[in-house]
Structure 1
Amino acid sequence: MTLNNDRRIGRYAVLLLISEDPKETKDSIERLGWRACSGKVGSMEASKVVAAIETAARKNDIVQTGLYRESHALYHAIIEALQGVTRGQVQLGSVLRTVGLRFAVVRGKPYNNSEEGEWIAVSLYGTIGAPIKGAEHETIGMGINHI
């Protein structure tokens, strides 16, 4: 099992997230035969962040709605990314924190051996803090899971 350095799925998810030209980055991702989407979400509830990312991934054909293994892989990648954003404690409103995030989801085959299958990466970047304007700081998180 060898990860192809030119096909690092997490790197592409972060690049799509922070790119000055997301269309160019998405075009690069699609040239690899991969799929990607991005969007924004803000909430005091982690469940709304998860729902927004899952909805975008389904609408953009990153995961198929009827296949549990695909939704399951996406869910775990989202939760791993949220753990990075929230420093290991996936809590927001219950501890009076809110987030304003951009997200990116990338699906593809990052290994030289195609039998390793498809993987999914979720990256999050934005702000987290008290629900008071100006009382937030930057945050970033990434999660990767096999499908």
Structure 2
Amino acid sequence: MINIFIIFIGLLFAAFFAGTETAFVSQLYVKSSGLSEWWREHPEKLLATTLVGTNVAYVTSTALATEFAMKKFGAFSEFYVTILLSLIALIFCETLPKSFGLRFAPKWIKIADKVLFAFHILAFPVIIIV
């Protein structure tokens, strides 16, 4: 049961990072202040942070979903997990969040800038390599 919860949280984080990337990129040429301005001035850090965050979220969700499905349904479930998670990710973790990020960019940025910066600090050793 905890695996399903972590899979769901991972997919939520993937959606968050996808929407955040689109929101910030759509506002790159709009003057802002505070932390939002810092991200605007450092787009390479923004993209590296969202890339690492998205990848961590997808890898975690996929690994746990595959493990869960193999225990529950057997060895051939890997194929079904791949198809199912790909569809879920495409619709709910990429398309919809990017649409919302574009449509509500100023509001999204106000909420996301601090969370994204906290993740940037947390994952800095990996982000610096990217």
- Range of TM-score over shorter length: 0.3 to 0.5
Quick check: which has more Rg, 1 or 2? 2
TM-score by length of 2: 0.32
More strand per residue? 1
More helix per residue? 2
| Greater RCO (Cα-Cα under 8 Å, separation 6 or more) | 2
TM-score by length of 1: 0.30
